[in-house]
Amino acid sequence: MQYVVGIDIGGTCTDCVVIDDAGKVTLGKTFSTPSDFSVGIMDALAVAARSLELDLRGLLEKTRLFLHSTTIAENAVLDGTLARGGLITTRGFEQTLFATRGGYGRWSGLTEEQKRNPMETEKLPPLIPISRIRGIKERTDARGYVLVHADEAEIESAVKSLLDAGIETLGVCLLWSFANPEAEQLVARVARRLRPDLFVTLSHEIAPIVGEYERTSTVALNARLGPVVAHYLQELQSKLDSDGFDGTFLVMQAYGGLLPADKAADRPVAMIESGPVSGLVGSKQLGKRINFRNIIAADMGGTTFKVGVVREGLIEYQREPMVLRYHYALPKMDVVSLGLAGGSIISVDERTGIPQIGPQSAGSYPGPVCYDHGGEEPTITDVDAILGFLNPAFFLGGREQLNIEKATEVLRKKVAEPLEMSVFEAAAAMYKLANSMIYDLLHKVTIQRGLDPRHFALFSYGGTAGMHVAAYGQELGVSHIIVPHSAAVHGAFGLITSDIVHEDQTTSAMRAPWDLERLNAIFTELGDRVTAQLRQEGFDEQTIQIGRSIDMRYRRQVHIMTVPVRDDGALTPATLEATIALFENLYEEKYGRESAYREAGIELVSYRVRGTGLVKTPEFRTQEMAAADASHAVKETRRAWVYQVEAFQDVKGYDFNRLLPGNQVQGPAIIWTPITTVVLNPNQVAGVDQLKNLVLTRE
Amino acid sequence: MTSPVDPVTFQIIRHKFYQVIEEAIIALENVSGSPITNEGHDMMVSLYKADGGLMVGGVGFLHHLTSASQAVKHIIAHFAEDPGIYEDDVYFFNDSYTAALHPPDVYLISPIYWEGKLTGFVANFVHVTDIGAVDPGGFSPNARESFQEGFQTKGLKIVERGKLRKDVFETFLNVVRDPGMTTLDLKSQLAANHVAKERMKRLYGDYGIDAVESVAEELIRQSEKLIRRRLSELPDGSWRAREYIDMPGETLKVELTAIKEGETLTYDFTGTSSQAVLGINCCYWATWGALFAPIFPLLAWDVTWNDGVTRPIRLLAPRRTVVNCERPAPISIATVGTIQIVNNLSTLILSKIFGASERYKERATAVWHGSHAHVETHGLTAEGEFFIAPLTDTFAGSGGACAFKDGVDLGGEIPNVVSRWANVESQELNTPLLYLYRRPVPDSGGPGKYRGGVCHEYAFTPRGTGEHPLGVVLFGKGTRAPMSLGIFGGYPGCNVGYWTFRRANIMELPYNLDTTDGEERQEQQWGSLELAPGDVQYVRFMGGGGYGDPIDRHPEAVLEDALLGLVTEQAAREIYGVVLELDKAKVDEEATAQRRLEIRSIRLGQSVDNELSVRQEVAPTGRRINEYLQQTTDGSTQCTWCGWELVPAGGPWKEHAVLRRSDISVAGALRRENSDYWLIEAFCPRCATLLDTDLAQGDDPPLQDVINRWPT
């Protein structure tokens, strides 16, 4: 028997999913260990191994693929534990990072309320200080024409002076380098000659897009993450190896694919927020398996609520990705966060008497009041406990006690009394407010983008999600609500359903009449490069898929859209025409009718190739369907808040472990799984499917 | 809470109002092709009540919040009967003499109906690509009358019951230079209003019209209550501020007195110059809006921006002055002209009031980004296509220094809290030109205890115009008069600079003003010019104002500035009195102490006791006047640096301070030498601390503030 292992490190927990050749899935979950994440990884592996009646070595020796997503990259940025970086740029533009496009760096990433109070806003310090930035005399124009060539001697002295300044990593971002990379390549050659082991990041490689601020920022982040992440991956690899691992080590990228660990080490900025992306990819793959092509994937854990959208089986990319308010420009699957989850603190504004939830979070320590870890501020989890949803017998496997009495007292004092409500009224009101805020966020990522939630299924996962999903899901009007079997370890689940993806692109503006020869030459070069890469990694014709796309825009308009080329082989006038027609349709769909300024003509901007190496992972094992009756799984009847009727009622509580595929649970009801809780409205029915996912539908 | 709506629903609906605006703004950005809209955020969307009152103001240029309210009121008053305001109508409005700010900032106003009843309005503006004025792009430095400033209407129905009026639309397009892009501007505006309207209807449907209206009314009451309470927590008195507009051939003065009494605040512009020959004039409602653009974020930062904020405020603007002009005075440059001056004065005067309050002293700020040195370009590309393209550089801005921190370098501006520039690459992709450099300017920030944020400079040359010249339109202010004024002894930011270099050294890739050279070098300020291939246009902005006496700045902060290249070694020594050993990255403490004492002695013309170079322990009385002054319990004015009582009870303190009329270059390099503008510096006669600085032209006197009462 061989195994595929997925390990996802989150803010609070490290999740592990193991699937064997027969498709049997084993889960493991432990607390994350930020001082040395590998400890948590080994713990989670050991938990899973025990379930399989193996030891750690036994499991690792039989592991064919080790798939990994981690918060190491975003943590290094948040904690400031980045490498000492230097930057080479075009002379006259050395302060691009410092300038942050003017006030943009001061207000971007803030809430609407914060933006309205500029007196209390500030920029972050630049990722690389001016003392370690060197401008070189060189200039390329918008069409890639070189006005002034870079001088090798000048580059050499710039690199030397940066090395003297003690840099551990070098970033290079020259104007229009993606239109003509020759100057950046020259800098790289010189740097590697002077210091062969120096980590070098080139802007035309890491972020070949228009916009020097975002591109430089991406370079700076990548450069400074490089040595940190490379070290982490190397250490982990050697730890795994010494415990008997002999398989392939792949790392998740925020664009939604896996890369071999050594390749991933070159582009660490792409690992930022790859964990939540894993969850989104997992939803997409699960959707494929159970026939949903339109999915709203919502992850509600301890500190943040994250949501992404799968549309017609595809995931969209984020508009302006940011980490700690530092911008970066990489294709990153669009996951939007809101500081609202189980640990979010509830307060009441003294002057206006208006209640507020978050964005501060109590985390796991001191945590919600009911955890009894010393938390003194009321949180959403406390509200859930007061409303009767949480069951101490199931809470974290029954290992931890719940102090609901204390939670009730704190909520009374800090929320109910200022609002002049009873404590239960206040809890119900806060429950409603939280659901409404989540609804607004979901509204933003669907209706506001022209997507009709009625045509979507809502996949809900993460520790706190199940207690709220029935409420906001119903308001949103989605067709189905799915609580995946893997809900509590969904990120790790996403990993084992992902493929290896290499992306490459070139930017070169083109207008009609189209130069097909040039266009085909570009695609051939990109395609060959990506294919060679995949072949080197052991993929063959059967397991390599190549996708091509073109970034286009209407001239004189700002928005650029990525449009897939739907045919294989050389582009013909007909395929190009079809691609342009698709662009016009997509543009109109996204930005509204008559929004295009067609008279200005269309411009092709960049050309992308995405090579996928299909990773062979086993099929999940399905189970036989039993009868609908779920009464055997009733654990107890308890008083709990029923959202729809706005009252406390006697509600049946079910033990998820005793539910069988085919069972139907009629709301109002509560279902306790070992790790999470699902609450049903009276008009909802939860069916258990063959993969033990809960499928909530309206009666 | 008097609203019948429960607090949770209240919060939900309030939240939805913001969301409606945000969605409308996204629609606007999505459709607009214009970099100043998309990247610079030169736009605004707000919601109005059925009577035109401001219901919920959005972000973008904030002077429009109240002006569009006035436009809606005008449409209700004049067109409700004929031609009527029907469901799905859209009105086009841009007349400054009625409500708007200047002709290219076009309001599109849509009534919102629910079940057959008019329930409110949504209005937005963008700066349209062209308005058919004498100069391309909407700013008309060559106009002498408003009649030369393009198409202007007090209300024109361009959509009637959901149907675009083709005759009207095409009539408008017929008078503008770039009808394609201008069409797109209007379409983006239509899309934004449409989205807002649909979302408001959904809100009515979900919560009921009564609930939504009662929340809106309650928010207005709440804002008014909180602003009145905040005003009553500030001292009573009158404060004065003054700026100048240095135009070709004339200098205009804008004088503002703010009278704070109880829970009301009155702004009085008596003493302001007569209306100008050139288009920097403001109509009454533009001045009103310009006052509020800083009032919202500075005084009303934590309440909903609506009519409630405006109710405790009064405006007195004498007729036929630059703050209340009459036809046919040209107005097309108002937004970057007198409106900006009023923004600056409103910021300064609120900050002076805050500075006199123990409770609010940390809200005081010097002027941010005092002058929009905005540049418009136009011409033909090499392929012969006509274009108009504003450069977005002016949206970078620079922060004013505050009572507790430095101004944010390239930090934006107060009247538009979400502005930014477009990347060089995105500018070059859309406009046939090439940037040679874009970099922060050392010593551009106003020196002070806290330094004003630095601004930037940039230079560009035509590229992609073939043999055609590149047209450039300029309308600069602040090339001689400082406009980013400091506060409580802080100095102003640098002057604006425009230089044109003919047949320049572009192949040497100059990287700052010093390295830029050409066969001819011309200083520019105003009007239109053409750049031939190989010519270079250089522009420098104005750094933010400083806060407090520069020799009160922490020497380590000066060192850090010098190491970052934001302050030169010379300015450190001359102005901040800090002697640096830059090669060792350290401060020479002994030399610094000596130099600072020397500066004090020079200020008074006599030696100053060594012990007074450090701030003494002076017990606060609770009657703060500014950073360095307070009133004692017996009513005399005391320096809080050294404890000296300058003035016995009752007297205006400036008459007892040591006054020095200094050349503005005292504030550093990049300030015009030997101009007819002065900084009147007021020093403590004992310790020589710089207590205040006033800008004056010719013999204009120092400004006297009077505080009558501090709240107990």
The answer for A 405-464 residues in CB contact with B (under 8 A) is 419, 429-430, 432-433, 436-437, 440, 443-444, 448
CB crowding B244-253: b at 16 or more within 10 Å, else e: bbbbeeebbb
Q: For residues B12 and B691, give the distance between their C-alpha atoms in angstroms, rounded to a whole number.
A: 48
CA nearest to B226, candidates B125, B283, B302, B328: B302
pLDDT digits (tens, 9 = 90+) for B41-69: 899 999 999 999 999 999 889 999 999 99
Tell me which chain B residue has its CA closest to the CA of residue A559: B30
Phi, psi (deg, nearest 5) at residue A498: -95, 165
Q: Are B559 and B580 in contact (CB under 8 A)?
A: yes
Taking CB atoms and an 8 Å cut-off, how many pairs form between chains A and B?
212
Q: Looking at residue B620, what is its pLDDT?
A: 95
Q: Looking at residue B2, what is its pLDDT?
A: 44
Q: For residues A220 and A241, give the distance between their C-alpha atoms in angstroms, rounded to a whole number.
A: 32
Q: At what angle do helices A212-242 and A72-79 cross, to 10 degrees?
A: 120
Q: Are B489 and B509 in contact (CB under 8 A)?
A: no
Locate all alpha helices (DSSP H) within B57-208, ordered by sequence.
63-79, 166-173, 179-207
Which structure tokens are listed for B324?
């209340």
CA nearest to A497, candidates A506, A505, A486: A486
Mutate to test the interface with B, among A421, A435, A558, A560 (most CBs of B within 10 A): A558
Burial of residue B517, with CB atoms counted within 10 A of its CB: 0-12 exposed, 13-18 middle, 19 or more buried? middle
CA nearest to B488, candidates B360, B575, B401, B603: B401
Tell me which chain A residue has its CA closest to the CA of residue B362: A119
Which structure tokens are listed for A640?
């709990």
CB contact under 8 A, B33 and A557: yes
Distances (CA, A) of A7 to A13, A162, B603: 11, 38, 69
CA dihedral A642, A646, A648, A652 (to 10 degrees): -20
Which structure tokens are listed for B113?
């109906």
Distances (CA, A) of A526 to A231, A529, B419, B581, B702: 30, 5, 38, 53, 70
Q: Are A653 and A638 in contact (CB under 8 A)?
A: yes
CA distance A479 to chain B (A): 20
pLDDT digits (tens, 9 = 90+) for B219-248: 999 999 999 999 999 999 999 999 999 988
Q: Chain B partners of A173 at a C-beta cutoff of 8 Å?
A: none
Q: For residues B482 and B370, give the distance between their C-alpha atoms in angstroms, rounded to a whole number.
A: 8
Contacts (Cβ under 8 Å, ≥6 apart) of A73: A225, A229, A268, A269, A271, A272, A274
Q: Looking at residue A618, what is its pLDDT?
A: 67
Q: For residues A453 and A549, give the distance between their C-alpha atoms in angstroms, rounded to a whole number.
A: 28
Task: Compute the C-alpha angle B325/B81/B214, nearest 5°.
Answer: 85
CA dihedral A335, A336, A342, A344 (to 10 degrees): 150
Q: Which residue has the higher pLDDT, A617 or B412?
A: B412
User: Which residue of A99, A440, A448 is in closest CB contact with B456?
Assistant: A99
Mutate to test the interface with A, among B424, B426, B427, B513 (most CBs of A within 10 A): B424
The answer for B 154-183 residues in CB contact with A (under 8 A) is 180-181, 183
- Ranges under pLDDT 70 in chain B: 1-3
Tokens 């897939």 belong to which residue?
Answer: A564
Q: Are strands A480-483 and B105-114 parallel, antiparallel or unpaired?
A: unpaired
Q: Are A520 and A570 in contact (CB under 8 A)?
A: yes
Q: For residues A19 and A8, give the distance between their C-alpha atoms in angstroms, rounded to a whole number.
A: 15
B515 and chain A: CB distance < 8 Å anywhere?
no
Strands of A160-203 (E only): list them. Answer: 169-173, 199-202
Q: For residues B647 and B315, give the distance between their C-alpha atoms in angstroms, rounded to a whole number.
A: 32
CB contact under 8 A, A103 and B418: yes
For the segment A439-462, the average pLDDT, to the nearest whole number, is 80
Q: Looking at residue B1, what is its pLDDT?
A: 39
Is residue A34 pLDDT above 90, yes or no? no
Q: How many CB atoms lie within 10 A of CB B687?
A: 24
Which structure tokens are listed for B598?
């020397």
Which structure tokens are listed for A363?
């985390």
Q: Are strands B518-523 and A561-565 parallel, antiparallel or unpaired?
A: unpaired
CB contact under 8 A, A556 and B181: yes
Q: How many CB atoms lie within 10 A of CB A562?
A: 17
CA distance A37 to chain B (A): 37
Task: Compute the C-alpha angle B281/B284/B286, nearest 5°.
Answer: 70
CA dihedral B393, A104, B431, B45 (to 10 degrees): -100
Is residue A399 pLDDT above 60, yes or no? no
CA nearest to B459, candidates B504, B520, B493, B426: B504
Contacts (Cβ under 8 Å, ≥6 apart) of A601: A511, A512, A554, A555
Q: Are A319 and A214 in contact (CB under 8 A)?
A: no
Integer distance in angstroms from the first to the last C-alpha of chain B? 27
- How many percent of chain A have pLDDT more than 70? 96
Which structure tokens are listed for A4?
């595929």
Q: Which sign, positive or negative, has the C-alpha torsion B603, B605, B609, B610?
A: positive
Tokens 């109508």 belong to which residue?
Answer: B89
Q: Are strands B90-93 and A139-140 parallel, antiparallel or unpaired?
A: unpaired
Which structure tokens are listed for A636?
């107890």
Q: Chain A partners of B425 at a C-beta cutoff of 8 Å?
A: 142, 175-176, 210-212
B7 and chain A: CB distance < 8 Å anywhere?
yes
Confidence of residue A562 (pLDDT cuts 50, 70, 90): confident
CA dihedral B34, B36, B37, B38 (to 10 degrees): 80
pLDDT digits (tens, 9 = 90+) for A223-236: 999 999 999 999 99
CA distance A544 to chain B (A): 36
Which structure tokens are listed for A77?
């940025």
A536 and chain B: CB distance < 8 Å anywhere?
no
For the segment A86-113, the average pLDDT, to the nearest whole number, is 94
Q: Which sign, positive or negative, has the C-alpha torsion B96, B101, B106, B112?
A: negative
Tokens 């207000």 belong to which residue?
Answer: A107
Asked if the interface predicted TM-score (ipTM) of this complex is over 0.90, the answer is yes
Q: Looking at residue B81, what is its pLDDT?
A: 96
Which structure tokens are listed for A89?
């740029």
Distances (CA, A) of A134 to A18, A172, A418, B238, B661: 49, 10, 57, 52, 43
Strands of A452-499 (E only): list them. Answer: 457-461, 480-483
Q: Are B400 and B407 in contact (CB under 8 A)?
A: yes
A129 and chain B: CB distance < 8 Å anywhere?
yes
Burial of residue B120, with CB atoms counted within 10 A of its CB: 0-12 exposed, 13-18 middle, 19 or more buried? buried
Q: For residues A458 and A530, give the distance between their C-alpha atoms in angstroms, rounded to a whole number.
A: 35
Please give the helix or strand (H or E) that residue A276 lies within, else none.
helix A274-289
- Measured over all CA atoms, what is the biggest interatomic distance in chain B, rounded to whole angstroms? 80
Q: Are strands A85-90 and A169-173 parallel, antiparallel or unpaired?
A: parallel
Is residue A396 pLDDT above 60, yes or no? no
A557 and chain B: CB distance < 8 Å anywhere?
yes
CA nearest to A650, candidates A637, A662, A664, A659: A637
Q: Looking at residue B523, what is its pLDDT?
A: 94
B279 and chain A: CB distance < 8 Å anywhere?
no
CB crowding B472-498: b at 16 or more within 10 Å, else e: bbbbbbbbbbbbbbbbbbbbbbbbbbb
Burial of residue A425, with CB atoms counted within 10 A of its CB: 0-12 exposed, 13-18 middle, 19 or more buried? middle
Q: Looking at residue A314, what is its pLDDT?
A: 82
Among A285-299, A397-411, A529-543, B501-515, top mean pLDDT goes to B501-515
Which structure tokens are listed for A277?
């992306």
